[in-house]
Structures are given as structure tokens and as C-alpha cells.
Amino acid sequence: MPPTRSRRGNRDHNRRPGGPRNTGRPEDLVRRTAFDVIRAVETRDAYANLLLPTRLRERGLTGRDAALATELTYGTLRGRGTYDAVLALCSDRELRRIDAPLLDVLRLGTHQLLATRIPPHAAVATAVELARSVSGPGQAKFANAVLRKVATRDMDGWLEIVAPEGQGDEAKRLSIAYSHPRWIVSAMRDALGPDRGEIGALLAADNDRPRVTLVARPGRATVEELLEAGAEAAPYSPYAALLTEGDPAGIAAVREGRAAVQDEGSQLVALALASAPIEGRDAFWADLCAGPGGKAGLLSALATQRDARLLASDLQPHRSALVARAVDERAGVIVADGAAPAWKPGSFDRILLDVPCTGLGALRRRPEARWRRGPESVAELGPLQRELLGAALESVRPGGVVAYVTCSPHLAETRVVVDDVLRGRDDVQRLDAPAVLTGVAPGLEGVGDGPYAQFWPHRHGTDAMFLALLRRS
């Protein structure tokens, strides 16, 4: 919630009204908008990627102002780990003793000073003005003193101090230098395994803005149509195109639901399921965790082309409603618990099981996500992931295939779950997922030696999707 007017005077740092102060300067409104979204993320678990577009629209921010507000919001949320380490050295007050809204102003100012081309005097002056508006004149002075210290070095200069190389605790250094919680650094390093030397590149990729990838839903739109509308060729998926600038909604096929925004890794795991070798009938497909429908949209289009039918289900009614908008009319959409099947065992020939997970593979898209969950969330999700996989393996017929998918590379959500569920079962064969993927995307490399496949943002420019293809015998 934005700060509200206080009648308690100095005891509450002379807070001023929370709405944006119209000083007539658009840059104030830009920073205020970034600040308001950052506060909402912290205080009421808002999602920046959902709230920011609404605030931009409400406040009439477009073009360069909207781009700057987006940069400031996302950059500040992502960089918090690094910025807090710098601020701790520049403040004579412990960070936990600084009013939370004021600390966000300082982070926003630090982001402008260390990671943008905004001239330092403008970065400091606008942040101080914001501090005055949020916390009152006394705190504005404090903000001014802190940010002037921050401005004495550039990012590299600060990193040499807060994250010096070669001084012992490497996970801690990476955590500060790349602004990731330490448990995520460790988990990512474990997931890279023998390629752990790529950890810096991976963490850096998490801090990049993801490219906008479109999918031309087969039979409903073509890649050529997207290219003619200004998109560019994509490296892997035969149905993908990259949108380097402009709004996806500016493309007719997207507006009409024949194409959509979809990460290339997400497209490829769905395509791998559709082309995995099965024996016998190939008529009934299911997506058991389908909401909001990205992969179901692609699978239903493929199923229709192949005269098969997709049943897409999700536990959440509102997410199933979103699925219904993404699939074509041949597909069935229901609300159902995938862990307690409402259908007979062995009903399906192909099943997509894109389980609920920590989403650590999509940190690029959700700037606040890394600070939201702790390592306990991995353990919390484990039982459900295992239950869902067990149920999916009962729901597929002998000879059919289940694709177990996560948008996380965390080993405890990926191969450990699959290995646990398959332990002691001799009726499930692990297919070579990288080989199946290469059949779909001939240029694809670096997803592993099999049987499982793992995409990486720093290698493929995709989310870190995991795929296991499991065939029942």
C-alpha cells in the first residue's frame, strides 16, 4: 500500500500523501510510479509485470517515460541484493533500521546511479525529492548523504569492495555480485553440475531482460505471417519468431489468438511431447497442469492437425478459464485435480505434466521472484510434484508418453523427483529427451547428454525448462 497521510507529525517521519505528487515534471511521475510498484511488490505481494502496465496506463505514461519507469522498477527489484550491500556501506544507520519505504527510495536511487546513464546529480536530486515526498525533509537529508556516497564509485568500483574476487566464500560473492539469494546461487551451481563454471553467465542472464518470443499456433498462423509483421527468425522452434521491438498486441495474429507470446523453451518441451515416439494409438492427449494455457494452446493446435484431441485441465477454475481462451474448439477444458484423476487409468496416449514449481528458471521474467521464496518452497512442492507424476503415469496407457516439465533447474524439482517416482518401477522407460528435442530443433545443443534435458537462459536465451520423457510399457 502507498504511504498515507499521518497526523502524528515527526513521530512518523512527516509522511506526505501517498498519491503521485504532480510537480509538473514527468520524470517525477516516472520515478513515483516505479516506487509505487516496488512498494506494492513488497507490501502486498503484487507482481511487477502485472501491476506496472496498469499503473502506466492510469498515469498516462507512454513511450520513453513508460520504458524508463519499467527499467527503474525491474532494475531496482532485481538488483536489490547488490544495492543493499552498497547501501550498507554508505549508510550510518543499519539497513534494518531504515524505514522500508525510504529504503526502497535508496535502492531506486542506487540503481539509477550504478546501472543507468542518468546523470548522477539528476539521480540523487530526484531520489531526494522522492524521499522528501515519502518520508519528509529529515529523511530527505539522510537520503542525500547516503546517495552522495553511493555516487562516489561506479558499479565496478563498488563490486571490488562488496564482492571482491578470490576471498573465500564464492557463493556469497556471486550472491552479492549478481544479486541472487545465496540458496539460489548454490542450487543453480548444483544444477549446472560439471558446467558449474558457467554460474556467473547464468546469473548474469537472469538479470537480462528476456527477449519477446512469439509462437505461431500451427494451422492457425504461420511464422512467415509473424515475420511479415516485423518479427525476426528464432533459432530453435519451427513455430517461433522473435519480437525485438513493439507491442505483441500490435500483431493481428496475436490479437486474434492465433499466435501468442511464449518462451522458446516452453514451445520446445511441448513439441518434444508431441513428437516423442509412442506405440499404437495417438488420439488422446492431456495437459494435466494446463493453466494459464501457454503449452496447451500449442498442443491443442498440433493435436487438431493430427486428428487427435487434447483434454486440458487445471486445479484452479480461473486458470482453466484462461486455458479455454488459449486452446482451439476441439480441445476439452476442465477443472480437475491431476493428483486424483477423474478419468480411467490408461486413458491417454500423450500427457504433458508441467508441474507447479519454484519458477527458478524464469527469474528473468519476474524480477521480484528471487526474493519471494526461500529454500523451504522446494521441499514444500516436492510431495505434490511426486503425486502428480505418479498419477500421470497411471493416466497414460502402456506405450504412451508422459512429459514431466518444470520451469526450474533445481535438482530437487527435476531429476530427483523423476528418479524417486521411478525407483522400483520397471514399467517406465526414460526416453532420450535431448535426442527428441534435436529432432524438433536440429540446431539445438547444450541441453544435456540425456536422458533428461535442461535448457539454460545463458546458453539458449530461453527459460531454464527441464524435460523428462517417460514411456510406459
Ligand X SMILES: C[S@@+](CC[C@H](N)C(=O)[O-])C[C@H]1O[C@@H](n2cnc3c(N)ncnc32)[C@H](O)[C@@H]1O
Give the whole-angstrom CA distance, residue 416 versus residue 187: 13
356 binds ligand X (CB under 6 A): yes
Cross-strand bridge partners of residue 469: 403
Q: How many residues bind ligand X (CB under 6 A)?
A: 19
Among 338, 361, 457, 461, binds ligand X (CB under 6 A): 338
The distance of closest approach from Cβ of residue 269 to ligand X in the complex, given in angstroms and rounded to an integer, is 9
Question: What dihedral do alpha carbons 86, 90, 95, 101 form, nearest 10°?
Answer: -90
Residue 292 is assigned to a ligand binding site: yes
DSSP 219-280: TT--HHHHHHTT-EE-SS-TTEEEE-SS-GGGSHHHHTTSEEE--HHHHHHHHHHHHS---S
Q: Using alpha carbons, list the distances in angstroms from residue 459 to 44, 95, 202, 203, 464.
A: 35, 36, 8, 12, 10
* Of the candidate residues 79, 291, 367, 448, the single one contacting ligand X (CB under 6 A): 291
Binding piece for ligand X, criterion CB under 6 A, among 31-39, 98-106, 219-227, 335-343: 335-343
407, 440, 441, 447: the catalytic one is: 407
294 belongs to an annotated ligand binding site: yes
Type of residue at 122? A
Q: Candidates 35-43, 272-280, 337-345, 454-462: pick the segment binding ligand X (CB under 6 A).
A: 337-345
d(CA 139, CA 131): 7
Active site residue 407: yes
Q: Is 289 annotated as a binding residue?
A: yes
Instruction: State the minimum distance, in angstroms, from the CB of residue 253 to ligand X.
Output: 19
Is 314 an interacting residue with respect to ligand X (CB under 6 A)?
Answer: yes
CB of 290 to ligand X, least distance (A): 5
C-alpha cell at 277: 515416439
Phi, psi of 446 (to 5 degrees): 80, 20
Letters for 257-286 (x = contact with ligand X by CB under 6 A, - = none) are: ---------x--------------------
Known binding residue 314? Answer is yes
- Report if residue 130 touches ligand X, rule: CB under 6 A: no
Can you state the angle between helices 63-90 and 155-162, rounded to 10 degrees? Answer: 30
Using CB under 6 A as the binding rule, whether residue 292 contacts ligand X is answered as yes
Q: Which is nearer to ligand X, 20 or 294 (CB)?
A: 294
Record the cell numbers describing residue 108, joined without a space.
Answer: 531506486
Spatial separation of the C-alpha atoms in residues 197 and 204, rounded to whole Å: 13
- Secondary structure of residue 349 in the 3-state scheme: strand
Question: At residue 298, what is the residue type?
Answer: L
Among positive and negative, which fits the CA dihedral 459, 460, 463, 468? Answer: negative
Q: Would you mind telling me the total number of residues written for the chain in this entry? A: 473
Applying CB under 6 A, among 23, 54, 305, 316 the residue interacting with ligand X is 316
State in angstroms the smallest separation of the CB of 2 from ligand X. Answer: 30
Residue in 39, 189, 295, 364 binding ligand X, rule: CB under 6 A: 295
81 touching ligand X, by CB under 6 A? no
The residue (of 225 and 337) whose beta carbon lies closer to ligand X is 337
Residue 354 assigned as binding residue? yes
42 binds ligand X (CB under 6 A): no
Report 377-416 residues binding ligand X (CB under 6 A): 407
3-state SS assignment for residue 466: strand
- Answer yes or no: is 400 a known binding residue: no
Cα–Cα distance measured from residue 342 to residue 435, given in angstroms and rounded to the nearest whole number: 33
Residue 293 annotated as lining a ligand binding site: yes
Annotated binding site for S-adenosyl-L-methionine: 289-295, 314, 354
Give the interface with ligand X as residue ranges (CB under 6 A): 266, 288-295, 314-316, 319, 337-339, 354, 356, 407
Q: Which residues are catalytic?
A: 407
